[in-house]
């Protein structure tokens, strides 16, 4: 629902901004707990139209694999309507390093439960990310692609392509600043949305 709802209240090619905070605590070498929260502004980054918070845990069962589960609560506003969503999620992530390039691929399974007049849905998301080692003064580029498959739509109806930079002001902190191109299928048309993405990740 995150971007589909937001796009319903904006025109194609409007600018949005998404600000995200990710907190991770490593309980052991294999177990961790995490929380993610975010707010989104639409209509050329003026109107607050979405917010969410979640919490979960992950288990690293292999040097290159981890599995996790989380529960997200999301609020969104579309024009004059406001709705909420409860979203249990399961995630499976592969990660490795190739010639100092950090690679990862995350599969996320989302069970989307709405409190308004919308049919509950199941969604599969697949995100691929590459973090490159080259940079200036610690500022390095990264690239990300993510597609979305909705059971209700019975097709891939959303795709994100993200490019930007990341840097670590401290060992426990990583900041990302990026541009995200969002493609949405709005029956039957595809529209494009521009988004500025800012994230801060803290790991303890």
Q: What is the pLDDT of residues 12-48, one digit of tens each?
A: 557 899 999 999 999 999 999 999 999 999 876 567 8
Residue-level pLDDT at 118: 81
Mean pLDDT of 181-199: 91
Contact (CB, 8 A) for 195 and 177: no
Quickly state the pLDDT bin for 3 (edges 50, 70, 90): very low
More confident residue, 106 or 81: 106
Distance between CA 195 and CA 204 in Å, rounded? 29
Q: Nearest to residue 13, comparing CAs of 202, 189, 199, 200?
A: 189
Q: Can you give the pLDDT at residue 46?
A: 62
Q: How far apart are CA 88 and CA 133, in angstroms?
A: 34
Share of the chain above pLDDT 70, in %: 90
CA distance 54 to 38: 9
**What pLDDT score does 97 carry?**
97
Please tell me the least confidently modeled range out of 29-33, 47-51, 198-202.
47-51
Tell me, what's the pLDDT at 10?
Answer: 44
What class has domain 2-159+166-203? mainly beta
CA angle 151, 67, 182 (to 5 degrees): 45
What local confidence, expressed as pLDDT, does residue 22 receive? 98
What angle (nearest 5°) sits at the alpha carbon of residue 197, between those of residues 12 and 22?
135
Is the separation of the CB atoms in 90 and 111 below 8 Å?
Answer: no
Interatomic CA distance for residues 45 and 10, integer angstroms: 11
Q: Centre a 10 Å sphere on the Cβ of residue 157 and count the other Cβ atoms it contains.
A: 19
Higher pLDDT, 152 or 8: 152
Structure-block tokens of residue 12: 């194609």
User: How many residues are present in the chain?
Assistant: 204
List the chain domain ranges. Answer: 2-159+166-203
Coil, strand or helix: which one is 149? Answer: strand
| pTM for the full predicted model | 0.88
pLDDT tens string 128-185: 999 999 999 999 999 999 999 999 999 999 999 999 999 999 999 999 999 999 999 8
Mean local confidence (pLDDT), 3-11 = 43
| pLDDT for 25 | 98
> Rounded mean pLDDT of the chain?
91
């Amino acid at each position: 629902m995150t971007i589909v709802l937001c796009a319903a209240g904006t025109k194609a090619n409007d600018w949005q901004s998404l600000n995200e905070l990710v907190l991770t605590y490593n309980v052991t070498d294999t177990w961790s707990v995490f929380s993610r929260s975010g707010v989104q502004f639409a209509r050329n980054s003026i109107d607050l139209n979405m917010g969410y918070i979640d919490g979960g845990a992950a288990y690293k069962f292999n040097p290159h694999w981890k599995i996790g589960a989380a529960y997200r609560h999301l609020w969104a506003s579309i024009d004059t309507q406001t709705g909420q969503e409860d979203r249990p999620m399961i995630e499976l992530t592969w990660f490795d390093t190739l010639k100092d390039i950090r690679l990862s691929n995350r599969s996320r399974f989302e069970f989307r439960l709405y409190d308004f007049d919308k049919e509950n849905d199941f969604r599969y998301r697949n995100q691929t990310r590459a973090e490159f080692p080259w940079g200036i003064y610690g500022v390095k580029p990264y690239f990300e692609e993510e597609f979305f498959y909705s059971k209700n739509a019975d097709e891939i109806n959303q795709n994100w392509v993200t490019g930007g930079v990341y840097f670590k002001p401290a060992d426990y902190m990583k900041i990302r600043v990026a541009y995200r191109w969002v493609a949405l299928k709005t029956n039957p048309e595809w529209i494009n949305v521009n988004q500025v993405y800012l994230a801060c990740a803290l790991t303890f």
